[in-house]
Amino acid sequence: MEDDDERYRAPALDKGLDILELLAGIDGGLTQTEIAKSLGRTPNEFYRMLDRLVRRGYVTRLDGDRYSLTLKLFGLAQLHAPVRRLASYATPLMRELAQKSKQANQLSVFDRGSVVVIAQQEAPDYWGISIRIGSHISLYNTGSGHILLAFSSPEERKFMIAENSRSVEEAEPSADLLARLDLIRARGYEIMTSMQTAGVHNLSAPVRGADGRVIAALTCPYITLLTPNAPDISQTITLLMETANQLSALAGFEKAEE
């Protein structure tokens, strides 16, 4: 009887996965000949597969004849199960943040060129700014986008900018924005006047995973409230940072001792 592993083989898929797994462990890339030699095949067997992987953005060519893995798989992983679970774990903490701050808040991730809202909590009283779950917002002109860029590695940031330019008609980030990202990373959060709604200040903080990488941005679109005992903007930043740190701890991040 034919072995199940052989009966359901998909040679082309196996070949593509072999290439991705090989390149994932290589710095500096490999030539087509080196890939073939490493996998015990002939170079001609990989020409069409490499061409498709390059066209789909999973592999890039270096210096014309070397192939290296891009960060596209990283981008696809942003909405993988751990991040979806984070949204459910975040709900009670985001609700508590809304109650204490008297402000709405939302959780966003980077996905295929855009910043996407994956969880949202309304303000507890009459007034507040909310964004629908599933909304796509700007990478360059929002607090959430700034946080995701500021706390990414240089390689991840390069990937995010490239993906954004393919999916959204936005120019490359300016020198001023790149300098601002350094400031955000140094102080640990973003505070900026909203570029979409008058009278709103975006307060944003990073949520980090076990490896220290940013996996989401927690944002409070702050509006000044005249109701008694409403926290001011400084107090709200403190509450936001506390909640972001709690979410990071849930995701396995251990903050280094000062």
* Amino acid found at 96: E
Q: Are 253 and 210 in contact (CB under 8 A)?
A: yes
Do residue 46 and residue 81 come from a single domain? no
Q: Is the per-residue pLDDT at 3 higher than 60?
A: no
* Amino acid found at 176: D
Length of the chain: 258
Q: Is the per-residue pLDDT at 257 higher than 50?
A: no
Of 70, 85, 105, the residue that ends a domain is 70
Do residue 80 and residue 66 come from a single domain? no
Do residue 131 and residue 19 come from a single domain? no
Distance between CA 239 and CA 68 in Å, rounded? 42
Domain span at residue 181?
76-250
Instruction: Please list, in sequence order, all residues whose beta carbon lies within 8 angstroms of the beta carbon of residue 125, skipping any fewer than 6 positions away.
Output: 102, 225, 227
Instruction: Read off the CATH number of the domain in which 58 is found.
Output: 1.10.10.10
Task: Give the pTM.
Answer: 0.70
Per-residue pLDDT of 199-214, as tens digits, reads 899 999 999 987 788 9
Per-residue pLDDT of 227-245, as tens digits, reads 888 999 999 999 999 999 9
Task: Tell me whether strands 66-69 and 30-31 are parallel, antiparallel or unpaired.
Answer: antiparallel
Instruction: Please list, in sequence order, all residues whose beta carbon lies within 8 angstroms of the beta carbon of residue 252, skipping any fewer than 6 positions away.
Output: 209, 210
Evaluate whether residue 257 is within a structural domain.
no
Instruction: Read off the CATH number of the domain in which 115 is found.
Output: 3.30.450.40
Distances (CA, A) of 95 to 162, 164, 171: 35, 31, 36
Number of domains in the chain: 2
Average pLDDT in the chain: 85
Q: Are 15 and 49 in contact (CB under 8 A)?
A: yes
Per-residue pLDDT of 63-81, as tens digits, reads 778 888 887 776 666 555 6
Do residue 245 and residue 168 come from a single domain? yes
Do residue 36 and residue 84 come from a single domain? no
Per-residue pLDDT of 86-125, as tens digits, reads 788 899 999 999 999 999 999 999 987 889 999 999 998 8
Evaluate whether residue 258 is within a structural domain.
no
* Amino acid found at 155: E
